[in-house]
Structure 1
Amino acid sequence: MSSVFSARPRSRFRLAGLLAAALVIAAAVPAVLHIRSADAAEYPGPGVVSGNITVHDPTMVKGPDGTYLMAATAPGIALRTSTDRTKFSYTGLAFPNGSATWTDEYTGTKDGNLWAPDLSYRNGKYYLYYSASSFGKNKSAIFLATSTTGRPGSWTNQGKIYSTTTSSNHNAIDPNLIVDRQGKWWLSLGSFWSGIKMIELNPSTGKRISGSSTVHSIASRPGSTALEAPAIIYHAGYYYLFTSWDSCCKGKDSTYKIMVGRSKTITGPYKDRPGKLLTEGGGTQVLGTHGTVIGPGGQSLIQDGDGDVLVYHYYDGADNGVAKLGINRISWDSSNWPFVS
Structure 2
Amino acid sequence: MKRFHRLAALLAATAIALLPTTASADVAYPDPLPLTGQQIIHDPTVHQLSDGQYVAYSTGGIIGARLSTNLRDWTDAGNAFTAPPSWWYDYNATADPWAPDLSYRDGRYWLYYAVSSWGTNHSAIGVATSPSGLPGTWTDHGPAFTSETTDSWNAIDPALVRADGELWMAFGSYWTGIRMVRLDPKTGKAIPGATVTHLATRPDAPYAVEGASILHHGRYYYLFASYDACCAGVNSTYKIRVGRSTSVTGPYADSTGTPMLEGGGDLFLSSHGRYTGPGGESTFHTHGRTWLAYHYYDATDNGTPKLGLNALSWTRDGWPAPL
Q: TM-score range by the shorter chain?
A: over 0.9
Letter in 1 for 2:308: G
Does 1:105 pair with 2:90?
Answer: yes
Does 1:194 pair with 2:176?
Answer: yes
TM superposition shift of 1:24: 10
Alpha-carbon distance in 2 for matches of 1:102, 1:120? 23
Can you list the C-alpha shifts for 1:92-125, whole angstroms capped at 9, x where unaligned?
A: 111114x232111111x133x2110000111111
Q: Match for 1:270 among 252, 256, 259?
A: 252
TM-score by length of 2: 0.93
Residue in structure 2 matched with residue 138 of structure 1 by the alignment: 121
Can you list the C-alpha shifts for 1:3-62, whole angstroms capped at 9, x where unaligned?
A: xxxxxxx2213306x6xxx9999xx9744999xxxxx96211111122111010000111
Q: Match for 2:36 among 11, 28, 50?
A: 50
Can you list the C-alpha shifts for 1:212-231, whole angstroms capped at 9, x where unaligned?
A: 33100011111141100000
Report the identity percentage: 44
Letter in 1 for 2:49: G
Residue in structure 1 matched with residue 73 of structure 2 by the alignment: 87
Matches within 5 A, 1:137-286: 137-180=120-163, 182-209=164-191, 211-224=192-205, 225-286=207-268
Q: Is this contact kept in 2: 1:67–1:83, CA < 8 A? A: yes
Alpha-carbon distance in 2 for matches of 1:13, 1:147? 25
Equivalent position SS for 1:142: strand
Q: Is this contact kept in 1: 2:12–2:56, CA < 8 A? A: no
TM superposition shift of 1:77: 0.9
Q: How many residues align?
A: 318
| Superposed structure 1 runs of 4+ greater than 4 Å apart | 22-25
Q: Match for 1:317 among 277, 289, 299?
A: 299
Equivalent position SS for 2:231: coil
Can you list the C-alpha shifts for 1:278-305, whole angstroms capped at 9, x where unaligned?
A: 0111000110000010000000001222
Letter in 2 for 1:101: S
Equivalent position SS for 1:144: strand
Contiguous gaps of at least 5 residues in structure 2: none
Letter in 2 for 1:244: S
Alpha-carbon distance in 1 for matches of 2:33, 2:277? 16
Return closer, same or farther for 1:238/1:183 CA change in 2, 3 Å cut-off.
same
Alpha-carbon distance in 1 for matches of 2:170, 2:225? 11
Residue in structure 2 matched with residue 337 of structure 1 by the alignment: 319
CA RMSD across the alignment: 2.1
TM-score by length of 1: 0.89
Return closer, same or farther for 1:293/1:32 CA change in 2, 3 Å cut-off.
closer
Alpha-carbon distance in 1 for matches of 2:306, 2:182? 33
Contiguous gaps of at least 5 residues in structure 1: 3-9, 35-39
Q: Match for 1:73 among 48, 59, 68?
A: 59
Alpha-carbon distance in 2 for matches of 1:316, 1:302? 23
Residue in structure 2 matched with residue 5 of structure 1 by the alignment: none
